Copies of this chain bind each other. A is one copy, B any other.
Amino acid sequence: MTDLNFDNWTCPLPLRDYPNIVMGHGGGGKLSGELIEHLFVPAFQNDDLAELGDSTVLPFAGGRLAYSTDSFVVRPMFFPGGDIGDLAINGTVNDIAMSGAQPLWLSAGFILEEGLSMNALGAIVDSMGRAARAAGVRLVTGDTKVVDRGHGDGVYINTSGIGVVPEGVHIGPSRARPGDVVLVSGEIGVHGTAIMSVRQGLEFGAAIESDTAPLNGLVAAMLAVTHDIHVLRDPTRGGVASTLNEIARSSRVGVQIDERAVPVPQIVRSACEMLGLDPLYVANEGKLIAIVPAERAEAVLAAMRAHPLGAKAARIGQVSDKNPGMVVARTGLGATRVVSLQIGEQLPRIC
């Protein structure tokens, strides 16, 4: 199991005088400038960022924008299958994709702790650049602050993003309707289990890697089949259970799921049994929940399965007018149980 994977990254020459972040890297002077010029701009490679004004100017033909923000505080910074950098890109790409939008531009705000190694920061920023290119988005504006040792945790990253919503697409958490079908794009609980495995030093009998991935391509493939998708959500912190509860409340409908139909990998099942957890509450990253009209469900499911990130997509339940605001699961034994909204989070700082 690797938790530090920045061996391939080489610190550029002008930064080598400072193997670690010092307060001056956040001061807006020469050190700040060197960080931007030699670290951020090369990693994020684009002309908009190179201009370095207070804000970036972007032409837009008109339509509906999707706008989102997310801060990332995951611990550890490097974990199996990813790091805080690609998580920060994919997280905001996915939040925008959940409006059915194609993400275009991202911002990045860094809060660095004094003493952070330049190599770790370089590896994270490099990972962000690669994730942005993989998702087809551009990092166009950014900011760096440095806080004194003991007032941070290496690096915290905020990303925000702007996308464009295709005409005729109207997706939102309050649009689920009785009769709709609930789909999930793949196996659940993977990111949370991967983080737990490193955080708590547990071995679950096999290696498990975070499922962090950009979902905009999968969403585009689904929208190519039909624009008539009612809800999309990525079930990150709080897992599938929290996401379905939010949809049930927001749409004032009941959601019924069939536990046997929910794809849970054996390793997640074992980890949850060992720790006394419910996979429905374990965090995911590169997964989505889709709520679609029944007559579109098979076509959307087929499109999902034809995409690499939806190969294990499944139909897991339906929406009704019974018990509005509630999520109910039929268990493997044929009984039903209420899947409630939990109070907090079973594993803090998961993203």
Identical copies of this chain, number: 2
- Which residue of chain B lies nearest to A340 when distances are taken between CB atoms in the complex? B30
Known: A55-B95, A342-B30. A140 touches B67 (CB 8 A): yes
Contact A98 B54 (CB under 8 A): yes
Residue from the list B51, B71, B161, B242 in contact with A111, Cβ < 8 A? B71
CB distance B98 to A55 under 8 Å? yes
Across the interface, name the chain B residue whose C-beta is closest to A95: B54
A235 to chain B, nearest CB (A): 9
User: Which residue of B51, B53, B99, B142 is within 8 Å of A54 (Cβ)?
Assistant: B99
The DSSP consensus for interface residues of chain A is mixed
Residues of B within 8 A of A297 (CB): none
Q: Is B345 a contact of A54 with CB atoms below 8 Å? A: no
Instruction: Indicate if A343 sits at the interface (CB-CB under 8 A).
Output: yes
Known pairs A27-B344, A69-B107; A172 contacts B53 (CB<8 A): yes
Interface string of A324-351 (1 = CB under 8 A from B): 0000000000000000011111101100
Check if A146 is an interface residue, CB within 8 A of chain B.
yes
Distance, CA A286 to CA B147, complexed state (A): 23
Distance in Å from the Cβ of A164 to the closest Cβ of chain B? 9
- List the B residue with the shortest CB-CB distance to A343: B30
The reply to whether B27 and A142 form a contact with Cβ atoms under 8 Å apart is no
Q: Are B237 and A27 in contact (CB under 8 A)?
A: yes
A314 at the interface (CB under 8 A from B): no
**Does residue A105 face the partner (Cβ distance < 8 Å to B)?**
yes
User: What residues of B have a CB within 8 angstroms of the CB of A32 in the complex?
Assistant: 344
Candidates B58, B68, B234, B345; contact of A67 at CB < 8 Å = B58
Can you identify 9 A-B contacts, CB atoms within 8 angstroms?
A: A27-B342, A27-B343, A27-B346, A28-B238, A29-B342, A57-B101, A59-B65, A69-B142, A150-B150
